[in-house]
Amino acid sequence: MIKSGTPFFPTTLPIGTIGDLLAGCTAMLQSEGVVDAQREAREIVAAVLDVPKFWAAANAVADATPQVARSVIRAAMKRAGGMPLAYAVGRASFRHLTLNVDERVLIPRVETEVLVDRVLERCTPKTRTIADIGTGSGAIALSLAFEGEFDRVLATDVSLDAVNVAAANAASLSEGLKSPVEFRSGSLLAPLRGEKLDAIVCNPPYISFAEITELPADVRDWEPSLALLCAQGGLSVTRELVAQAPDGLVRGGFLALEVDTVRAGTVAEMIAVDGRYSEIEVLLDLTGRERFVFALRV
Ligand code: SAM
Ligand code: GLN
């Protein structure tokens, strides 16, 4: 797939129904090498209309208004030009939420949904203040605030762009949130100096610069490098957070990290040698890979 260029769209076809729109978008996506073109065309229609993914197939004879047709075609053209689907439609699903996303933030991943599960399981009535470091779209912080009752959810990011995206997501979801969320910009725990945290959750960048070439093109060419890559073989941000977290956590508070599967053991060891943590655990994702490391502040 190519990143730029003018994808083909059969504009001469009459776009009368949802079925016509689907067929046109499928053809455009196919012509640009999108593998599962029909499914993606359905997903684009679903995202634009805010309906379930099966809706377009079940409503092929319904009229497509010119406005809907324009929005769907615009998104399909972006996708055909190589843009990831979530950026092309401007939205991504994460647990119970639909988040607005664009190229300023990482598209939240399914593994991170599991991280939130493990964190919620670990929380007790004593977990009153919880921090999400490197919040990106706000996926973790907003899910915690939507599903859990905390006094405060504090979310930070070194990228001001990300903080802006996350804060806008919080504003549009505010009615459904059970806990208040605050966003601050700055590196790691610097914006939370003086806070006493019962838990710190983080999905840091953890891919090394040497691994850039191994990333799929739609990740490498579109998602922010600051969200994906870091120094010291992909461990610099994790290492710095492991060093800073004990000063922010209360005794008995926990640190929950998403890690790359090849680095899970190294991260667990790094936490063990710090000396200020106990009960270090490596947890698995839904496919059985080591993807999370949890530890208690002693
Ligand atoms: N939490 C979001 C999620 O799970 O979808 C985004 C995670 S993304 C892998 C990592 C995030 O950490 C990015 O938003 C990036 O801007 C941020 N980040 C990178 N270095 C950071 C640092 N030193 N301090 C705070 N945030 C940082
Ligand atoms: N797991 C993401 C990917 O597949 C990267 C997220 C991260 O670096 N934390 O690209």
pLDDT in tens, 88-128: 999 999 999 999 999 999 999 999 999 999 999 999 999 99
- Closest C-alpha to ligand 1, atom 15: 227
Structure tokens at 117: 């599960």
Confidence class of residue 219 from pLDDT cuts 50, 70 and 90?
A: very high
Last residue of a domain, one of 89, 115, 140: 89
pLDDT at 209 over 90: yes
**Cα(263)–Cα(270) distance, integer angstroms:** 10
pLDDT at 8 over 70: no
Looking at the fold, whether 81 and 100 belong to one and the same domain comes out as no
DSSP string, 116-136: HHHHHHH--TT--EEEEES-T
pLDDT at 2: 43
Last residue of a domain, one of 89, 109, 138: 89
Last residue of a domain, one of 64, 89, 114: 89
Which ligand 1 atom is nearest residue 162's CA? Answer: 14
262 lines ligand 2 (CB under 6 A): no
Looking at the fold, whether 30 and 110 belong to one and the same domain comes out as no
- Closest C-alpha to ligand 1, atom 6: 136
Q: How far is the CA of 19 from the centre of ligand 2 (A)?
A: 36
Q: Degrees (nearest 5) of the Cα angle 222, 92, 47?
A: 110
87 lines ligand 2 (CB under 6 A): no
Mean residue pLDDT of the chain comes to 94
Question: How far is the CA of 110 from the CAs of 113, 162, 212, 253, in angstroms?
Answer: 5, 19, 21, 25
Q: What is the CATH number of the domain that holds 37?
A: 1.10.8
Looking at the fold, whether 225 and 142 belong to one and the same domain comes out as yes
Q: pTM for the full model?
A: 0.94
Burial class (CB in 10 A: 0-12, 13-18, 19+), 48: buried
| Mean pLDDT for the stretch of residues 47-72 | 93
